[in-house]
Amino acid sequence: MRENLEFVGRIYGLPNPGKAARAMIARLGLDGREQQIAGSLSGGWKQRLALGACTLPGPQLLLLDEPTAGVDPKARREFWNEIHALAAEGLTALVSTHYMDEAERCHEIAYIAYGELLAHGTVHDVVAGSHLVTFNVTGEGLATLGREIEQQPGVDTVAPFGASLHVSGRERAALEAALAPYRGRSGLAITEIEPSLEDVFIGLMTKARDNFQ
Protein backbone atom coordinates (compact mmCIF):
# COMPACT_ATOMS: atom_id res chain seq x y z
CA MET A 1 0.00 0.00 0.00
CA ARG A 2 2.81 2.41 0.88
CA GLU A 3 4.49 1.64 -2.42
CA ASN A 4 1.28 2.53 -4.28
CA LEU A 5 1.19 5.95 -2.66
CA GLU A 6 4.90 6.52 -3.18
CA PHE A 7 4.49 5.65 -6.87
CA VAL A 8 1.74 8.25 -7.21
CA GLY A 9 3.93 10.77 -5.42
CA ARG A 10 6.78 10.16 -7.87
CA ILE A 11 4.45 10.51 -10.86
CA TYR A 12 3.38 13.94 -9.64
CA GLY A 13 6.94 14.95 -8.86
CA LEU A 14 6.51 15.41 -5.10
CA PRO A 15 9.83 16.36 -3.49
CA ASN A 16 9.64 13.57 -0.89
CA PRO A 17 7.21 10.82 -2.02
CA GLY A 18 8.04 8.58 0.94
CA LYS A 19 7.26 11.24 3.50
CA ALA A 20 4.06 12.22 1.68
CA ALA A 21 2.95 8.57 1.55
CA ARG A 22 3.57 8.08 5.27
CA ALA A 23 1.65 11.25 6.12
CA MET A 24 -1.31 10.13 4.00
CA ILE A 25 -1.29 6.67 5.57
CA ALA A 26 -1.49 8.27 9.01
CA ARG A 27 -4.21 10.69 7.94
CA LEU A 28 -6.47 7.98 6.51
CA GLY A 29 -5.99 5.60 9.43
CA LEU A 30 -4.10 3.06 7.34
CA ASP A 31 -1.34 2.53 9.90
CA GLY A 32 -0.38 -1.12 10.18
CA ARG A 33 -1.37 -1.84 6.60
CA GLU A 34 1.60 -0.18 4.91
CA GLN A 35 3.01 -3.46 3.60
CA GLN A 36 -0.33 -4.99 2.62
CA ILE A 37 -0.85 -5.62 -1.10
CA ALA A 38 -3.51 -3.27 -2.45
CA GLY A 39 -5.28 -6.08 -4.32
CA SER A 40 -5.90 -7.95 -1.06
CA LEU A 41 -7.72 -5.04 0.60
CA SER A 42 -11.47 -5.02 1.22
CA GLY A 43 -13.65 -2.67 -0.81
CA GLY A 44 -13.70 -0.03 1.90
CA TRP A 45 -9.92 -0.03 2.36
CA LYS A 46 -9.38 0.07 -1.39
CA GLN A 47 -11.57 3.14 -1.66
CA ARG A 48 -9.71 4.80 1.18
CA LEU A 49 -6.40 4.04 -0.52
CA ALA A 50 -7.75 5.43 -3.80
CA LEU A 51 -8.84 8.61 -1.99
CA GLY A 52 -5.35 8.95 -0.54
CA ALA A 53 -3.77 8.51 -3.98
CA CYS A 54 -6.09 11.11 -5.52
CA THR A 55 -5.46 13.72 -2.85
CA LEU A 56 -1.74 13.07 -2.37
CA PRO A 57 -0.65 15.77 -4.88
CA GLY A 58 -2.97 18.35 -3.27
CA PRO A 59 -5.56 18.94 -6.02
CA GLN A 60 -8.09 21.78 -5.89
CA LEU A 61 -10.85 19.72 -7.51
CA LEU A 62 -11.69 16.07 -6.88
CA LEU A 63 -14.13 14.14 -9.12
CA LEU A 64 -15.63 11.03 -7.50
CA ASP A 65 -17.87 8.66 -9.48
CA GLU A 66 -19.99 6.59 -7.08
CA PRO A 67 -17.04 6.27 -4.67
CA THR A 68 -18.79 4.14 -2.04
CA ALA A 69 -20.50 1.56 -4.27
CA GLY A 70 -20.15 -1.84 -2.58
CA VAL A 71 -18.76 -0.35 0.64
CA ASP A 72 -20.21 -1.21 4.05
CA PRO A 73 -22.03 1.52 6.08
CA LYS A 74 -19.18 2.10 8.55
CA ALA A 75 -16.61 2.54 5.78
CA ARG A 76 -19.02 4.81 3.90
CA ARG A 77 -19.36 7.10 6.90
CA GLU A 78 -15.61 7.23 7.46
CA PHE A 79 -15.08 7.96 3.76
CA TRP A 80 -17.54 10.85 3.86
CA ASN A 81 -16.02 12.20 7.06
CA GLU A 82 -12.72 12.46 5.22
CA ILE A 83 -14.38 14.13 2.21
CA HIS A 84 -15.85 16.78 4.51
CA ALA A 85 -12.49 17.25 6.22
CA LEU A 86 -10.86 17.82 2.83
CA ALA A 87 -13.63 20.23 1.83
CA ALA A 88 -13.05 22.19 5.04
CA GLU A 89 -9.43 22.59 3.93
CA GLY A 90 -10.53 24.13 0.63
CA LEU A 91 -10.85 21.12 -1.67
CA THR A 92 -13.87 21.08 -3.98
CA ALA A 93 -15.35 17.59 -4.39
CA LEU A 94 -17.83 16.74 -7.14
CA VAL A 95 -19.52 13.43 -6.38
CA SER A 96 -21.88 11.35 -8.50
CA THR A 97 -24.11 8.95 -6.56
CA HIS A 98 -27.38 7.07 -6.79
CA TYR A 99 -27.72 7.02 -2.99
CA MET A 100 -29.98 9.81 -1.79
CA ASP A 101 -28.66 9.59 1.77
CA GLU A 102 -25.21 10.37 0.36
CA ALA A 103 -26.56 13.26 -1.68
CA GLU A 104 -27.92 14.72 1.56
CA ARG A 105 -24.36 14.91 2.87
CA CYS A 106 -23.37 17.38 0.16
CA HIS A 107 -23.43 21.16 0.50
CA GLU A 108 -25.22 21.45 -2.84
CA ILE A 109 -26.83 18.89 -5.12
CA ALA A 110 -27.85 18.72 -8.76
CA TYR A 111 -30.16 16.30 -10.54
CA ILE A 112 -29.22 15.52 -14.15
CA ALA A 113 -31.28 13.27 -16.43
CA TYR A 114 -30.55 12.58 -20.09
CA GLY A 115 -28.07 15.47 -20.15
CA GLU A 116 -30.55 17.98 -18.73
CA LEU A 117 -30.14 19.76 -15.40
CA LEU A 118 -33.45 19.27 -13.57
CA ALA A 119 -32.68 20.88 -10.21
CA HIS A 120 -29.79 22.49 -8.38
CA GLY A 121 -29.18 23.97 -4.93
CA THR A 122 -29.03 22.94 -1.30
CA VAL A 123 -31.07 19.93 -0.22
CA HIS A 124 -33.60 22.29 1.40
CA ASP A 125 -33.86 24.41 -1.74
CA VAL A 126 -34.31 21.41 -4.04
CA VAL A 127 -37.01 19.85 -1.84
CA ALA A 128 -38.83 23.18 -1.45
CA GLY A 129 -38.50 23.96 -5.15
CA SER A 130 -40.09 20.66 -6.13
CA HIS A 131 -43.45 21.87 -4.75
CA LEU A 132 -44.10 18.24 -3.94
CA VAL A 133 -46.80 17.19 -1.45
CA THR A 134 -46.28 13.75 0.10
CA PHE A 135 -48.48 11.53 2.24
CA ASN A 136 -47.39 8.44 4.14
CA VAL A 137 -49.83 5.52 3.95
CA THR A 138 -49.60 2.57 6.35
CA GLY A 139 -51.79 -0.48 6.78
CA GLU A 140 -52.52 -3.86 5.23
CA GLY A 141 -52.40 -4.81 1.57
CA LEU A 142 -50.14 -1.95 0.53
CA ALA A 143 -48.91 -3.64 -2.66
CA THR A 144 -52.43 -3.84 -4.09
CA LEU A 145 -53.38 -0.48 -2.63
CA GLY A 146 -50.35 1.18 -4.21
CA ARG A 147 -51.28 -0.03 -7.67
CA GLU A 148 -54.80 1.27 -7.13
CA ILE A 149 -53.77 4.68 -5.82
CA GLU A 150 -51.25 5.38 -8.56
CA GLN A 151 -54.07 5.25 -11.12
CA GLN A 152 -55.91 8.12 -9.43
CA PRO A 153 -55.83 11.65 -10.93
CA GLY A 154 -53.53 13.95 -8.99
CA VAL A 155 -51.11 11.19 -7.97
CA ASP A 156 -47.67 11.57 -9.55
CA THR A 157 -45.77 8.78 -7.79
CA VAL A 158 -46.35 5.95 -5.33
CA ALA A 159 -43.20 4.46 -3.80
CA PRO A 160 -42.87 1.75 -1.11
CA PHE A 161 -40.81 2.79 1.92
CA GLY A 162 -40.51 -0.15 4.31
CA ALA A 163 -43.99 -0.93 5.66
CA SER A 164 -45.52 2.21 4.15
CA LEU A 165 -46.18 4.02 0.89
CA HIS A 166 -45.11 7.52 -0.05
CA VAL A 167 -47.80 9.03 -2.23
CA SER A 168 -46.78 12.28 -3.91
CA GLY A 169 -48.19 14.91 -6.21
CA ARG A 170 -47.68 18.56 -7.07
CA GLU A 171 -51.30 19.67 -6.77
CA ARG A 172 -52.39 19.49 -3.13
CA ALA A 173 -56.13 19.66 -3.80
CA ALA A 174 -56.01 16.96 -6.47
CA LEU A 175 -53.83 14.70 -4.32
CA GLU A 176 -56.05 15.07 -1.27
CA ALA A 177 -59.10 14.33 -3.43
CA ALA A 178 -57.40 11.18 -4.73
CA LEU A 179 -56.70 9.97 -1.19
CA ALA A 180 -60.05 11.00 0.32
CA PRO A 181 -61.84 7.71 -0.49
CA TYR A 182 -59.17 5.76 1.37
CA ARG A 183 -59.21 7.76 4.59
CA GLY A 184 -62.23 5.92 5.91
CA ARG A 185 -60.85 2.45 5.34
CA SER A 186 -60.34 0.39 8.46
CA GLY A 187 -56.68 -0.23 9.29
CA LEU A 188 -55.31 2.48 6.98
CA ALA A 189 -53.49 5.56 8.27
CA ILE A 190 -52.73 8.50 5.97
CA THR A 191 -50.56 11.35 7.23
CA GLU A 192 -48.76 14.20 5.47
CA ILE A 193 -44.98 14.14 5.72
CA GLU A 194 -42.05 16.19 4.49
CA PRO A 195 -41.01 14.91 1.04
CA SER A 196 -37.73 13.03 1.14
CA LEU A 197 -34.95 13.68 -1.32
CA GLU A 198 -35.79 10.33 -2.89
CA ASP A 199 -39.43 11.39 -3.31
CA VAL A 200 -38.21 14.49 -5.13
CA PHE A 201 -35.79 12.45 -7.26
CA ILE A 202 -38.49 9.97 -8.31
CA GLY A 203 -40.87 12.83 -9.07
CA LEU A 204 -38.30 14.57 -11.25
CA MET A 205 -37.42 11.39 -13.09
CA THR A 206 -41.05 10.69 -13.96
CA LYS A 207 -41.19 14.10 -15.65
CA ALA A 208 -37.85 13.74 -17.45
CA ARG A 209 -37.86 13.02 -21.17
CA ASP A 210 -35.54 10.36 -22.56
CA ASN A 211 -34.04 12.30 -25.49
CA PHE A 212 -31.88 9.33 -26.54
CA GLN A 213 -34.82 7.27 -27.73
Residues 6+ apart with CB under 8 A from 159: 165, 166, 168, 198, 199, 202
Residues of the chain with pLDDT under 50: none
Let me know: does 200 contact 120? Beta carbons within 8 Å: no
Rounded Cα distance, 178 and 67, in Å: 41
**Domain holding 6: CATH number?**
3.40.50.300
Please give the residue range of the domain that contains residue 192: 130-207
**In this predicted model, what pLDDT tens digit does every residue of 89-100 receive, in sequence order?**
999 999 998 888
What pTM, to 2 d.p., does this model score? Answer: 0.76
Q: Residue 213's pLDDT is what? A: 56
Q: Are residues 103 and 188 in the same domain?
A: no
Residue 49 inside a domain? The answer is: yes
Let me know: does 52 contact 25? Beta carbons within 8 Å: yes
SS3 assignment, position 190: strand
Considering its fold, how many domains does the chain have in total? 2
Q: Starting from the edge strand earliest in sequence, which strands make up the sheet with 157-161, in order?
A: 157-161, 164-169, 133-138, 189-193
Q: Residue 34's pLDDT is what? A: 76
Q: Residue 13's pLDDT is what? A: 92
